[in-house]
Structure formats: C-alpha cells, structure tokens
Structure 1
Amino acid sequence: MKSHHSHHNTNIAKKWKTLSGQNNWDGLLDPLDLDLRKYIIHYGEMAQSTYDTFDNSKISKYAGSSRFSKNNFFSKVGLDTGRHPYKYRVTKFLYATAGMDVPDAFIFKSISREAWSKESNFIGYVAVAEDETVGLMGRRDIVIAWRGTVLSIEWVNDLSFIQVSGSDIFGHGVGGGDPKVHQGWYSIYTSDDPRSRFTKTSARNQVIPEIKRLVEQYKDEEISITTTGHSLGAALATLSALDIVVNNVYKPKDCPEKSCLVTSIIFASPKVGDSTFKNIFTRYNNLKLLKVRNFLDIVPNYPLLGYSDIGEQLLIDTTKSPYVKTPGNFLNWHNMEGHLHGVSGTQGSRGGFEVVVNRDIALANKNMDNLKDEYLIPVSWWIWKNKGMVQQLDGSWVLKDYESDADEDEFDLR
C-alpha cells in the first residue's frame, strides 16, 4: 500500500499545477483523470469537514460553533488516516454573521436560545499544509474551506435574487461596468456585527489578513491557495478566491504569468454574480475554478435570471451509482458526501459507474439516507458519541458536546 501512495504522491508533486487548473483542466475531465479525481475528493473532504464539526444541536450551549478544536481538527473529522497522506493544520476558524435584510433561511442565526453566540456561526477555516506534506504536494498549499447551509436547503425556494454591487471589493469590469453579486452570499462574506466577539470583523476581514500572514510566512516557498465549499460554501469560496487575486493578497512581484495559482474546487454551487462579475473573474490567468455538479441537483440553476456561469464544470450523475437508492430526492442529489461518492465513480461519457478510488461507500450515508439497505450502513451515522453525554465518576451524566484546546482560549480568535 505504501508504494502505491508514494508513487501517487510523486505524480501529484509533478502535476499539481495541471491539477489546480493551470490549463483549465483541458483533457482531464472526460474521462476523469485518476489523479484529478483524488485531488477533487481531497478538497471536497475538507469542505465536508466544515459540516462534520458544526454543532447544530438546538440544546447545546455551543450550538453554531465548531465541536472540534483547531489542534486536532483533522484527526477528529477523520482526515488524518493512512488514506490521507497530506497533513494540514488549521490556523484559523472563520465566523460569519449576515446583514439584517437577508432572509432567515440562509443564515444561521444561532440555533439555540442560549448559544455561545447569538449573532455568529462557525462558517469555515483556513488550513496550511504541514512541512512533511510540502514535498508530496510539490508546494505549500493554503486552503480556505467554507461551510454551506446545514439546517435546510429550503432556501432555494425562498431565494431572493436581489443583486448588490461588488465593486468595493472587486473593482470594475471592462468600460467601468459595476459587478453585481448575489446579496445573500455577499452579505455573509462582508457583514460584521459589533455585538459579537466573533464577527466584530466580517468573514472577509478574518480570512484576508490570515492569507496575507501565511503568504508572508512562506514567501520563500512555492505556494498555492485553494478555496473549497459546497452550496452556499461554494459561493463563498468563489467570492474569496476572486478577492484574493483582485486585491493582490497573493501576487508576489516575481510571479510569472499563470503561476501563483489561486484555485476554487467547489460543489453544488449556486450562481454568484452577473456578466460583469464573470468578466472580472476571467481576466486573471492565475485564477481557476472547477465546479462539480450533480446532474439532478437544482441548486446550480439558481438564481435563474441575471447571473452568469463561471469556470469549468465536472458533471457527475449519482443516479448511475449501483450503491445509492434511486431515484433519490432533492436532498440526496444536493448532498456533499453524495457528490464525493459521485466523483469517486463517475465514468463520464463512457457511461456506467465504477468506484476507482479507495473511498468507503459508507461515507455516502454519513448524514443522509443515500445507500441501498442491502449495504447495511446506518442512516445519518455521523453523530457525537452518546450525543455528547459523558458519564461522571459519581455515575451521573453531563452534556459535554464541545471540545476546547487546553492550551488556548475557549474560542481563540487569533
């Protein structure tokens, strides 16, 4: 097994620019290149981990936060095993609020009345590849993973299509055109709340200084920046990637054309902006976007009018999988783990479905009822042990559903 990994990793180290879209994934998507398949799953699992750590229990006093601390985050979300040769560490948790005029459905006003913060929710993290991984990956990778909506995707039905100007962040398009972006996504990215310890600065003003800090820290190395997310998280990944490039957060002076890659690998993404937004996005040769879309998922169609598609698309169709219940439903088709199962087995225009990467199909039932009953995998099996109830020495039981780092403040805002 070891030799297989090391061989695969040498491939990645040599090919990483191609896999990160330097040539717009030309010739790699159909049929889907095996290394690219693993690469997409690698980033997709980081996007999925934002859901796996999110505490959405109404009764928890930590509702809306990350259950797991930064120090052992990747081991707790199951991304630190032999199947995951790339080691990262989380350097910052990100929190978001939203402007008051955005519909409730897609914000995550904290779920519990006595939650750790009524105004803010955990919305993602920044992570950086550890030293031992740099050689395997061919560079120092910095990842920004954004969380999508957890509680419901009924927001699609209520989605207002109001656009707001994004020129404060993204500048102007050709001929001074004003880029318009979806009000909801933009609000979550840019809103702050003076009442909150966690979103006194907006998600944007948490992430951009952190990327600047890491780029400065590793300025003598080759760096890549990768943003990822699912659903709403995919929209935030798109906004943050463009922000980083437009505002020279990552554009070292000696950067050759198409180098200094900033890549978004996103899943089930709704549309983000209008044609002016698109023309600003496509202006940059070092900015690349690959979106994975499940054939029956309707979210990528939204908003319907006045928005432009950007980037390259990998189309998957989970209904072709022999493992999943068919036809499934709206939630199954949109589900993130379902997308990763689709990437592991899609055969594109060749037809059929064959899982060709070492990825357990059980994950498709992590928080859904995706798999056929014959596979004997419990439905929605990803839960905190005993729902967080821990027995004390005197025999009583206490809810302990949040894990803090002993050596850091309960909510470390560094």
Structure 2
Amino acid sequence: MANDNIDSDIKNIAKDWKKLSGLENHWKNSLDPPSTDLRLYINHYGELAEATYDAYIKTPHSKNAGNVRYSRKNLMTKVGLTQGRPLNEYKVTKYLYATSAVMLPGAFVTSSSPQAWSKKSNWIGFIGVANDEGKKALGRRDILVAWRGTVNPSDMIHDAELLPVPAPKIFGLLHKDNPKVHNGWYSIYSTHDENTRYNKQSARDQAIDEVKKLVNEYRNEEISLTLTGHSMGAAIATLNAVDIVFHGLNKQTVTPPISCPVTVFAFACPKVGDDGFSKVFKSMKDLYCLRINNVPDVVPKYPMVGYSDVGSELVIDTVKSTYLKGPGDPGSWHSMEGYMHGVAGVQGKKGGFKLEVNRDLSLVNKFSDALMDKYGIPPAWWTEKHSGMVQNPDGHWELKDHEEDNDP
C-alpha cells in the first residue's frame, strides 16, 4: 500500500473515530463487510493485544518466567509496533500483574533462590495513553488497556473454573439483576495477595487506579477509553470495561461533567457472564463492545451453558483465505495473528475472502505454520535472539531475557 493511501486512511480514522469505536449505533450496518478504515482500526487494537503475547516470558528455565521481557519505554518498539504504524503511538504508563493459581515454572525451578522473579504473580497486560502524535492520528487522546490471553498453566486452571459467581468488587453485594460472571476470570481480575511484591493490589485495582489517574490528567481534552484482549484477555477486558463504566470512572471532572466512551475490541472472546450480566451490560450507555469471532474457532462459543454474549459481533472465517493452508487446525483458527488476517480479508458472512488492507502476510506465521509454503515464510519465526542468552565480555553466556523497568 502506498504511503499516500496510508495517510489517507489515517485521516479518515481521525475524522471517523467515533463511528469506528461504535458510538454511532454500535457498528450497525458497518460489519458485513467492514470498510477499509474499520479493518485498519480493528487490527490496530489487535496488534496491541498481540503485544501482550510477544512480550511475555514463557521460557520455563528462566527465573523471569511469567514476567514481561521489555521495559515500559521499550515495549512498543521491541514488539515491532511503531515502525510504519502511526496509529500505535502510545506511551506505556503502567504494567499490570495478576495472581497465579499455581507456582509459575521459572519460580518453581528456582524456588530456593532469592533471585526468583515471583512465585505467585504473572504479567497480565499494560496501560498506555496516546502521545501527541498518536492523538493526531487517532483524532483524540486514547487511553488504552490491553489484557493478555491464556499462556501458562495458571491461566488454564482459571479458564476451567466455569461456575458463574457474583462479582461484588464490580457490582457490590446487592444488585437487582443479580449478575454473575465466570469464576476463573473474575479471580484473575480481582484477587490480591499481601504476601507478594506485585499483587498487594489486584489486577483490577492496579488498572482502576491508573485509569482514574489518566482520565483526570487529560480531563480537559477529548479522550476515549479503549480496552482490548484476545481469548481470556478479551474476557478480562470486558469485565474491566463494565467495572469502569459501572463506577463512573470514565467521567471527566470538568464542569459540566463529561463521560468519555469506553470501547472493547474483544478478539476470540468467550462468554463472560450470565443473563444478569448481559442485562447490566446493555443498560450502560457509554459502553461499546465489538466481538471479533472466527467461524471455526470454538473458544467464542465457550462456556456453552449458563452464559450469554454481549455487544456486537464481527464474523470472520479464515478457512476461506486462499493464503492459508487448509483447513487449518484449532491453533491457527484461534491465533491472534490469524484473527487479524481474517479481519483484513473478510467479505461478510456470505462472501469470500479478499485482502482489503496491506497487512504483512509474514505475520501469520509469527507463532504458527499456517501460511502456504509458496510464500517462503518460515514457521514460528518470532523468537528472541539466542532465546535471550547473551555473551558476557569474558566469553561466558548468561540468560538475560528481562529488561529492568527504571521508568518513574
């Protein structure tokens, strides 16, 4: 895509951001198929959700397993989100941490060492705010919250905790609709542990405090709150968004008070709550949610009993893509990069597949082998150089896979 076309699309996004964020009738008549600028916009937030996977340390042998690889000031650059991407101009202001259901692998391996990163916490996402260049491209000052999806055994344990439970930290002890939510994701979101360094506050309280701070800091500007995530991360983003609106944390302290919009871009999002939760969700006028679901992916259908969908839905079908090996497998159907490929080419529920935006095909194979061999892209090519091993001046090698975050 030529640079002048990119500039033209960016101008459209800045001008039409309210429509693209669902403020004009919740994307009605805009999704089958989506416009070029809506595709770009959705994938912009998809890339920010993908960043939570790219930056997470999964190596079991690392004492930093479960932590984030990069410092806040380097995150966007190190995961490849700034070069040629004018929409992704954010300053990362906060890292989010959640309690773990089980001891993380690296902490277990080094459990006798005082250098072990954490036995009970893991990195779950980040908060950022559009810088001045990002504000220009996006048409307003966007406050972003990105939540990570399932990666480690702790996440998988929580995913399986299906029982719908009340959510008193969101809705209080009594609510007329008696909303209930997925036990495991509510636990990740709301649990704290005084005996930890990173979770004396729950992930919820960390996020809420930072959102309140940023909404106040930019109270005299036009602002938005946008939350994103994939799979489990999409579910937690939905909980977080409801929490923010329910407690009025999106209200700017100006005279007269202004409520900024809260939008969720939820990729491969499972069902989050019951009918009561859905009823509360629908009653919130400042809340908008777009679920992006791939036809062959089973995760958005989960859990199948006792839960309801919320928000609007964009249906994609990567099986129709002529760029991918068919018919694929559950991993490729569910992958975040596969989802963004689908958004780039979906032609509506009854249409075929044609790439409408120039999204780099090589990204499809970032963590998979889904792209057809004729494109010459190696499978699972995204790796940290030497798996994080660094040679010291004396010639010895040492695992250095985590940047200390010295930001204030």
The 1:187/1:74 distance shift into structure 2, 3 A limit, reads same
2-structure distance, mates of 1:353, 1:135: 32
Contact 1:41 1:340 in 2 (8 A): yes
Q: CA deviation at 1:382?
A: 0.9
Q: What per-residue deviation string (whole Å, max 9, x for no partner) do you get for residues 114-159 of structure 1?
A: 2410100000000100012212211100010000011479949982
The 1:288/1:206 distance shift into structure 2, 3 A limit, reads same
Match of 1:71 in 2: 73
User: Is residue 385 of structure 2 the alignment partner of residue 390 of structure 1?
Assistant: no
2-structure distance, mates of 1:135, 1:158: 39
The 1:157/1:241 distance shift into structure 2, 3 A limit, reads closer
2-structure distance, mates of 1:280, 1:256: 26
User: Is residue 9 of structure 2 the alignment partner of residue 12 of structure 1?
Assistant: no
Q: Secondary structure at the match of 2:251?
A: coil
2-structure distance, mates of 1:346, 1:184: 32
The 1:256/1:146 distance shift into structure 2, 3 A limit, reads farther
User: Is residue 268 of structure 2 the alignment partner of residue 273 of structure 1?
Assistant: no
Q: Which deviates the most, 129-138 or 280-289?
A: 129-138
Q: Which deviates the most, 133-142 or 273-282?
A: 133-142
Match of 1:44 in 2: 46
Q: Which deviates the most, 352-361 or 246-255?
A: 246-255
Q: What per-residue deviation string (whole Å, max 9, x for no partner) do you get for residues 48-96 of structure 1?
A: 0000000000111111001011011101000011134441011000000
Match of 1:239 in 2: 239
The 1:119/1:154 distance shift into structure 2, 3 A limit, reads closer
Which TM-score applies when normalising by structure 2? Answer: 0.92
Q: CA deviation at 1:379?
A: 1.3
Q: Which amino acid aligns with 1:8?
A: D
Q: Which amino acid aligns with 2:208?
A: I
Match of 1:299 in 2: 299
Q: Which amino acid aligns with 2:128?
A: A
Q: Which deviates the most, 348-357 or 373-382?
A: 348-357
The 1:253/1:200 distance shift into structure 2, 3 A limit, reads closer
Q: Which amino acid aligns with 2:163?
A: I
Q: Secondary structure at the match of 2:91?
A: strand
1-structure distance, mates of 2:375, 2:153: 27
The 1:235/1:256 distance shift into structure 2, 3 A limit, reads farther
1-structure distance, mates of 2:158, 2:90: 37
Match of 1:288 in 2: 288
1-structure distance, mates of 2:161, 2:181: 12
Match of 1:165 in 2: 166
Q: Secondary structure at the match of 2:97?
A: strand
What count of residue pairs does the alignment treat as equivalent?
400
The 1:336/1:261 distance shift into structure 2, 3 A limit, reads same
1-structure distance, mates of 2:132, 2:184: 38
Q: CA deviation at 1:160?
A: 3.7
Q: CA deviation at 1:166?
A: 1.5
1-structure distance, mates of 2:188, 2:238: 13
The 1:366/1:348 distance shift into structure 2, 3 A limit, reads same
1-structure distance, mates of 2:334, 2:395: 43
2-structure distance, mates of 1:18, 1:173: 35
The 1:291/1:76 distance shift into structure 2, 3 A limit, reads same
Q: Secondary structure at the match of 2:309?
A: coil
The 1:252/1:85 distance shift into structure 2, 3 A limit, reads closer
Q: Secondary structure at the match of 1:16?
A: helix
Q: CA deviation at 1:168?
A: 3.6
Match of 1:132 in 2: 133
Query: Superposed, which structure 2 residues align to 1:400-411 within 5 Å?
Result: 400-405=400-405, 407-408=406-407
Match of 1:82 in 2: 84
Which TM-score applies when normalising by structure 1? Answer: 0.91
2-structure distance, mates of 1:340, 1:109: 30
Match of 2:146 in 1: 145
1-structure distance, mates of 2:353, 2:161: 36
Query: Superposed, which structure 2 residues align to 1:338-349 within 5 Å?
Result: 338-349=338-349
Identical counterparts, % of pairs: 50
Contact 1:31 1:348 in 2 (8 A): yes
2-structure distance, mates of 1:2, 1:374: 27
Contact 1:110 1:117 in 2 (8 A): no
The 1:364/1:178 distance shift into structure 2, 3 A limit, reads same
Contact 1:51 1:147 in 2 (8 A): yes
2-structure distance, mates of 1:63, 1:331: 22
1-structure distance, mates of 2:119, 2:343: 37
Q: CA deviation at 1:6?
A: 2.8
Contact 2:263 2:288 in 1 (8 A): yes
The 1:258/1:355 distance shift into structure 2, 3 A limit, reads farther
Q: Which amino acid aligns with 1:109?
A: L
Selected match of 2:96 from 94, 97, 101: 94
RMSD over aligned CA atoms reads 2.3
Q: Which amino acid aligns with 1:400?
A: K
Q: Secondary structure at the match of 2:367?
A: coil
User: Is residue 215 of structure 2 the alignment partner of residue 208 of structure 1?
Assistant: no
Q: Secondary structure at the match of 2:228?
A: strand
Contact 2:146 2:228 in 1 (8 A): yes
Match of 1:411 in 2: none
